[in-house]
Structure 1
Amino acid sequence: MNLDKKLIKQIIEKVILVLSFAGFALVIYEEGFEKPLLTEADSHLLLKIMLSSIWAGYLALYFLIKSKTPFSNKRISELVAILIISGILLFIFTDYAIPGLDVVTQATTDRFLVDLLVAGVFLIELSKVSLGVNELQLNPPLIFILSFLVLILIGTVLLMLPNATNGPIHLIDALFTSTSAVCVTGLIVLDTAKDFTLFGQLIIMLLFQLGGLGMMTFTSFFGFFFRGSFSIQNQLFLKDFINEDNFGEIFSTLMKVILFTFLVEGVAAILIFFSLNSDLFSGVGEMIFFSIFHSISGFCNAGFSILSNGLYEQGFRDNYNMQLIIAVSIILGGIGFPVVLNYYGYLKHFIRGMFRKIVFKESYRHLPRVVNIGTRLIVLTTGVLILVGFVSYWILETNHTLAGLDTYGKLVTSFFGAVTPRTAGFNTVDMSVLSVPTVLIYLLLMWIGASPGSTGGGLKTSTFAVAILSSFSIAKGKDRVEVFRREISSSTLRKAFAVTFLSFMVIGTAVFALMLFDRDLPLMSVVFEAFSAFSTVGLSLGITGDLSFGSKMVLILTMFIGRVGILTLLIAISKGVKNLSYRYPEESVFIT
């Protein structure tokens, strides 16, 4: 490409970037404020002009740059974007009337399509810019933490917009709600159903969707498609977040994570929709939004609901099929993407091998250790925790929350009660009437939490399992920890015990601070709240809304630390040691 074309390309790209950000800002302004400066017709026209200019820019870039690989991801993505924008603009400018829609609904549909298209273009351009952030001379953990911090602040500002709520709210409540959503916790100081408008609920849903997978995961995915490639810095940055050591598989793994997320959420939303009682809703649109909101909240282990009493709301507490669907979504979101990808690789190898065996009469080739130790340990631990939680809930709550339910209801409620404490936070029962032993079981399940590389929080199942194995190993007098005919590395053991110790330090500090700011609150409720915040669960014994300003700040910090991870936070703020080129004499310390 000659100098003139490069200069033109840079100018067009800068213009598109500015227009996309300006258009998105205009959409936020129009939707967020009650009396905008521009009329709805004027702003709608301005957005259409912006979109037309962006479309012309994309078209110019596509034909200006001659690619040697016309079928690359970048070229195909650019062509698809041009075609989508072309189709929507054609639909809008021709004033095509959708059969069966009245004038008002038609206008609302047009506006929604314009807003959606502006948001899509903004996401594309933001994703391109975010890839440049990865190339800054900052360590990945620090960028990871900053991405959550920035998202929380953006969410706070959006939730403070007049049209996001049904009345004025305090800044601390907006910050708390944004942090809870981004950190996929679910603790609330405001009623999501009554205090937030549809616009506000949509913001919350987007926050826990982005927070569940990580902002950088989303932007990197779209950025790759429209930029065409990853730099070495991008790959080094992403490999730590998606747990992929093979550089050649980074984008493939990233794509599988995104597709798996949307697949599970999409299927769950459809199943939830068909499980609902239409008499409880004002229309199909409300049912669709309810289904999408709760499917994303379930998979992301967010625990947010647009029902005032959660899933315990009258008319929903007996919908056991819906509860099962959400419970399965919680498990799939909390099991961890590394586990899902590991089993995907195993199934892919198995199906391919059996196909060759049946069709081509080739012998089946067994690959050793396709399902690795980490995956097997996580799945086993998850299964044991669900089973223990299920049996415990059934026994302990027979005369409490399970009283009066039929057998199917008891089975589903007990199963849900075993799943939701492990970072999800939905409630299908009245939390205030749980027996004390059940609350203690909940504390244990909340503390352990979900699995590494998942949308959930907590200590993590693998950490808990390694700590238990190490304890048994010491009790047997063994000098190493072994499982499934493999020895666990000393570095893994050190990390497990460090995280375990630090988790108690954070929770203990949070309990102390909460009792300091709100001394009249019951100790059990405060401890439950601290565990719930650290493990990003969202369950509460009913004190969250009554907390003081100081206590809310304590929980905000606790949720943030629990989501980004204690070790990640320490690594980000600590200066790492480059090389230990020496060893001191080894000496034992007396421990009993």
Structure 2
Amino acid sequence: MRFRQRLAQPVKHLPHGHVIPLSPPQVILLGFAILIAIGTLLLSSNSLSGMSLSWHEALFTATSAVTVTGLTVVDTAQMNIVGQVIVLGLIQLGGLGFMTFAALMMALLGMRMPLQQQNMVRETLHNTSFSGLMRLVRLVIVFTLVAEGLGTLLLALAWVPEFGWQQGLWVSAFHAISAFNNAGFSILPQGLSPWVADPVVNVVMSLLFIIGGLGFIVLAELVEWRRHRKLSLHARIVLHATLWLSLGAMIALLLLEWGNPSTLGGLESVWVRVQAAWFQAVTPRSAGFSTLSMDLMTAPATLLIMLLMFIGAGSGSTASGIKVSTFVVVLLIARSFLRGSTQPAIFRHSIPEETIFKAIAVALAGMLLVFISLFALTLTETGKTFIDLAFESVSAFGTVGLSRGITEELSVPGQLILCVTMLLGRVGPISLGYFITTRQTPGLKYARGHVHIG
């Protein structure tokens, strides 16, 4: 009842300014829902999209674009230019985050952002101070536009000679924006597979979604970094984890797929194999692009990619998953326990108790969401193999967009299940982090109890 009353009066007019009474999780969920609804209406119009989409196909495409996933039940390459622009706009809005645009628009309109909404933006961008909040929002938008612009120009070196100036620039811009936002949407009929040996496409695309996946607070630190100042603990964890996870995954894929004639084993040279292994190692971190067929990979390589999709990229970025910082903290907790220590630490810094609880809660929530999604898919998609459904569930949770080729074959209930999974995978960790960060200390303390574990 209270939520309905707040929806009926979304803005309160107070003497000191206009205030939004909704709680932060309600604001961000409502914002994404509104974007998805608008996108569904636009894409369901034949005159706009250039395709005859059913309501569930339009809903799935809009949800995938807003949550920057990349899973598709229709070929985006078959849409007309207006439909592709609509998808690209949804990707951009969803990638930067609803709260980022909300904060900027409220500031421009002179509206006051309540403390709860400021907490939501801080949690989304993982900023630590109120004073630099709007400066960080402006930096995010400027950096995004610059990165996407440079990416477009570099990709044009490969695609303008092949498609001509007009089509080449549009293909380059679409893929630059999609890559930076870790969306995985492509308007090329065969995706990036024909460019598996092209160094420009592989390097530029991988750099775009790696940079977009670092997290805006890390990017802000790097932009303002000076040699005499050390990076924050969070930035150091994200940068180190990104590097070692990428290199480790590349080496593992080289070992697992080297003799597979359908993937790496079918490429003509060692350099092309290394290049393809690198691309496939970094794309599961939420990018969703691929230059090799996922359904032709061996089972061990498939499981490795599922793990990378579940981990995701940096906090406060365009990527999803449980995030690399969460994964590192969980590993530190396990290492601390095995060493008999009560305080996880890294880089001569201890991890606060609040961060420990948050990491465990986010990781557990992610596993539960994947399990529930997979369980539901096994009920609705009886003709599909278990590993294909599991891959699809993890990809939807991590908003990655990689698929083993079954997305278009899913039933309507299966598509709706993935829609919910994509939405919760995108906004769930942020909302959960907010609830943990703003929890109240109970006034009543209970006696300690002992529970046997293991």
Is the shorter-chain TM-score for this pair beyond 0.5, marking a shared fold? yes
- Confirm whether residue 149 of structure 1 aligns to residue 33 of structure 2: yes
Shift of the 235–517 alpha-carbon distance from structure 1 to 2, 3 Å rule, reads closer
How far the C-alpha of 1:235 sits from its partner, in A, is 4.4
TM alignment of 1:4-23, pairs within 5 A:
none
2:176 to 277, 295, 298: 295
Show the counterpart of 2:232: 372
How far the C-alpha of 1:179 sits from its partner, in A, is 0.3
| Identity score, percent | 35
Instruction: Tell me the amino acid that sits aligned with residue 385 of structure 1.
Output: L
CA contact (8 A) 1:373 1:484 kept: yes
How far the C-alpha of 1:244 sits from its partner, in A, is 2.7
Instruction: Tell me the amino acid that sits aligned with residue 321 of structure 1.
Output: V
Separation in structure 1 between the aligned mates of residue 50 and residue 212 of structure 2, nearest angstrom: 32
Show the counterpart of 1:5: none
Separation in structure 2 between the aligned mates of residue 134 and residue 288 of structure 1, nearest angstrom: 43
CA contact (8 A) 1:517 1:551 kept: yes
Separation in structure 1 between the aligned mates of residue 251 and residue 128 of structure 2, nearest angstrom: 39
Q: The residue matched to 1:588 in structure 2 has which SS?
A: coil
Shift of the 392–236 alpha-carbon distance from structure 1 to 2, 3 Å rule, reads closer
Q: The residue matched to 1:420 in structure 2 has which SS?
A: helix
Structure 2 spans left out of the alignment, 5+ residues: 1-12
Q: The residue matched to 1:539 in structure 2 has which SS?
A: coil
| RMSD of aligned alpha carbons | 2.2
Show the counterpart of 2:214: 335
2:156 to 268, 273, 277: 273
CA contact (8 A) 1:499 1:567 kept: no
Shift of the 309–328 alpha-carbon distance from structure 1 to 2, 3 Å rule, reads same
- Confirm whether residue 323 of structure 1 aligns to residue 207 of structure 2: no
Instruction: Tell me the amino acid that sits aligned with residue 207 of structure 1.
Output: L
Separation in structure 2 between the aligned mates of residue 146 and residue 587 of structure 1, nearest angstrom: 40
How far the C-alpha of 1:539 sits from its partner, in A, is 0.5
Separation in structure 1 between the aligned mates of residue 167 and residue 18 of structure 2, nearest angstrom: 39
Show the counterpart of 2:445: 583
Show the counterpart of 2:130: 247
How far the C-alpha of 1:288 sits from its partner, in A, is 1.1
Whose radius of gyration is greater, 1 or 2? 1
Return structure 1 stretches of 4+ with deviation > 6 angstroms.
none
- Confirm whether residue 161 of structure 1 aligns to residue 161 of structure 2: no
* TM-score, length-scaled by structure 2: 0.91
Show the counterpart of 1:238: 121
- Confirm whether residue 543 of structure 1 aligns to residue 427 of structure 2: no
1:447 to 310, 330, 346: 310
How far the C-alpha of 1:397 sits from its partner, in A, is 1.4
Shift of the 570–409 alpha-carbon distance from structure 1 to 2, 3 Å rule, reads closer
CA contact (8 A) 1:179 1:559 kept: yes
Shift of the 570–269 alpha-carbon distance from structure 1 to 2, 3 Å rule, reads closer
Q: Cα deviations across residues 153-174 of structure 1 (Å, max 9, x unaligned)?
A: 1110110112233332110000
Q: The residue matched to 2:132 in structure 1 has which SS?
A: helix
Instruction: Tell me the amino acid that sits aligned with residue 203 of structure 2.
Output: L
Q: Cα deviations across residues 175-233 of structure 1 (Å, max 9, x unaligned)?
A: 00000000000000001112x11110110001011100113312432553x43575555
Separation in structure 1 between the aligned mates of residue 221 and residue 340 of structure 2, nearest angstrom: 33
Separation in structure 2 between the aligned mates of residue 570 and residue 477 of structure 1, nearest angstrom: 28
Q: Cα deviations across residues 263-308 of structure 1 (Å, max 9, x unaligned)?
A: 11111110000122523x2x31111111110000000000000012
Separation in structure 1 between the aligned mates of residue 363 and residue 316 of structure 2, nearest angstrom: 17
Shift of the 175–392 alpha-carbon distance from structure 1 to 2, 3 Å rule, reads same
Show the counterpart of 1:81: none
Show the counterpart of 2:54: 170
Shift of the 287–189 alpha-carbon distance from structure 1 to 2, 3 Å rule, reads same
Separation in structure 2 between the aligned mates of residue 285 and residue 567 of structure 1, nearest angstrom: 39
Q: The residue matched to 1:296 in structure 2 has which SS?
A: helix
Task: Choose 132-141 or 299-308, whichever is displaced more.
Answer: 132-141
Q: Cα deviations across residues 237-280 of structure 1 (Å, max 9, x unaligned)?
A: 5333333333221111111111111111111110000122523x
Instruction: Tell me the amino acid that sits aligned with residue 101 of structure 2.
Output: F
Instruction: Tell me the amino acid that sits aligned with residue 186 of structure 1.
Output: G
Show the counterpart of 1:531: 394
Separation in structure 1 between the aligned mates of residue 390 and residue 288 of structure 2, nearest angstrom: 16
Q: Cα deviations across residues 50-74 of structure 1 (Å, max 9, x unaligned)?
A: xxxxxxxxxxxxxxxxxxxxxxxxx
Separation in structure 2 between the aligned mates of residue 290 and residue 519 of structure 1, nearest angstrom: 38
Instruction: Tell me the amino acid that sits aligned with residue 347 of structure 2.
Output: F
1:480 to 333, 336, 343: 343
Separation in structure 1 between the aligned mates of residue 305 and residue 120 of structure 2, nearest angstrom: 36
Q: Cα deviations across residues 354-384 of structure 1 (Å, max 9, x unaligned)?
A: xxxxxxxxxxxx55xx311111111111111
Separation in structure 2 between the aligned mates of residue 554 and residue 134 of structure 1, nearest angstrom: 37
Shift of the 230–346 alpha-carbon distance from structure 1 to 2, 3 Å rule, reads farther
Show the counterpart of 1:309: 190
Instruction: Tell me the amino acid that sits aligned with residue 374 of structure 1.
Output: H
Show the counterpart of 1:6: none
How far the C-alpha of 1:454 sits from its partner, in A, is 0.4
Instruction: Tell me the amino acid that sits aligned with residue 484 of structure 1.
Output: F
1:179 to 56, 63, 73: 63
Q: The residue matched to 1:276 in structure 2 has which SS?
A: helix
TM alignment of 1:218-237, pairs within 5 A:
218-224=101-107, 226-227=108-109, 230-231=112-113, 233=115, 235=118
Q: Cα deviations across residues 67-116 of structure 1 (Å, max 9, x unaligned)?
A: xxxxxxxxxxxxxxxxxxxxxxxxxxxxxxxxxxxxxxxxxxxxxxxxxx
Show the counterpart of 1:382: 242
Separation in structure 1 between the aligned mates of residue 248 and residue 64 of structure 2, nearest angstrom: 28
Separation in structure 2 between the aligned mates of residue 243 and residue 570 of structure 1, nearest angstrom: 10
1:463 to 322, 326, 336: 326
CA contact (8 A) 2:175 2:186 kept: yes
Show the counterpart of 2:223: 344
Show the counterpart of 1:500: 363
Show the counterpart of 2:9: none
CA contact (8 A) 1:134 1:237 kept: no
Show the counterpart of 1:563: 426
Separation in structure 2 between the aligned mates of residue 588 and residue 331 of structure 1, nearest angstrom: 44
Q: The residue matched to 1:220 in structure 2 has which SS?
A: helix
Show the counterpart of 1:212: 95
Separation in structure 2 between the aligned mates of residue 318 and residue 345 of structure 1, nearest angstrom: 36
Q: The residue matched to 2:192 in structure 1 has which SS?
A: helix
Q: The residue matched to 2:342 in structure 1 has which SS?
A: coil
CA contact (8 A) 1:145 1:569 kept: no
CA contact (8 A) 1:336 1:451 kept: yes
Shift of the 476–212 alpha-carbon distance from structure 1 to 2, 3 Å rule, reads same
Separation in structure 2 between the aligned mates of residue 227 and residue 519 of structure 1, nearest angstrom: 52
Separation in structure 2 between the aligned mates of residue 179 and residue 585 of structure 1, nearest angstrom: 46
How far the C-alpha of 1:141 sits from its partner, in A, is 2.0
Instruction: Tell me the amino acid that sits aligned with residue 536 of structure 1.
Output: T
CA contact (8 A) 1:561 1:569 kept: no
Q: The residue matched to 2:94 in structure 1 has which SS?
A: helix
Shift of the 263–169 alpha-carbon distance from structure 1 to 2, 3 Å rule, reads same
Looking at both structures, which has the greater relative contact order when contacts are Cα pairs under 8 Å and sequence separation is at least 6? 2
How far the C-alpha of 1:566 sits from its partner, in A, is 4.0
